[in-house]
């Protein structure tokens, strides 16, 4: 089992920056990909960015050039550096980890979420 704890959310003005962190604990040896999702009121949860164990990254088109995802495998931690924030970035941000076990069974784990609010 994997537990995920996010930190770094808060209130920031448009154009500002924020860094989110997510620390994994438990059976961290099983983790492959990690990522960040977000959900705004009345909208679907969407992928923001993810990163493989080898460092390959993917970004939503809406955040390309502004957000950077990174991870420290030794610390089992993933980060999301958010620059040039816009009001439309306002959402609850969730950390995600995908674990694979010996029988190739995969599980998704989720953090509790952290609120990011960008004021205009």
Helix (H) or strand (E) run with residue 11 in it: strand 10-13
* pLDDT in the model for residue 74: 86
pLDDT band at 39 (very low <50, low <70, confident <90, very high): very high
pLDDT band at 101 (very low <50, low <70, confident <90, very high): confident
Higher local confidence (pLDDT), 109 or 101: 109
DSSP for 79-107, please give it: EEEE-S--GGG-EEEEEEEEEE-TT--EE
* pLDDT in the model for residue 73: 84
> CA distances (Å), 111 to each of 35, 42, 57, 86, 103, in order?
11, 20, 20, 23, 25
Cβ atoms 17, 11 nearer than 8 A: no
> Would you say residue 102 has pLDDT above 90?
no
Helix, coil or strand: residue 15: coil
Q: Could you report how far apart the first and last alpha carbons of the chain are, in Å?
A: 40
Cβ atoms 36, 95 nearer than 8 A: yes
* pLDDT in the model for residue 24: 96
């Amino acid at each position: 089992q994997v537990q995920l704890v996010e930190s770094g959310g808060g209130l920031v003005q448009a154009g500002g920056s924020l860094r989110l962190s997510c620390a994994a604990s438990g059976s961290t040896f099983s983790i492959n990909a990690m990522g960040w999702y977000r959900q705004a009121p009345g909208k679907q949860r969407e992928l923001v960015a993810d990163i493989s164990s080898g460092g390959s990254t993917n970004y939503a088109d809406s955040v390309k050039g502004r957000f950077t995802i990174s991870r420290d495998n030794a610390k089992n931690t993933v980060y999301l550096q958010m620059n040039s924030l816009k009001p439309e970035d306002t959402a609850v941000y969730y950390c995600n980890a995908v674990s694979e076990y010996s029988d190739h069974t995969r599980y998704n784990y989720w953090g509790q979420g952290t609120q990011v609010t960008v004021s205009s």
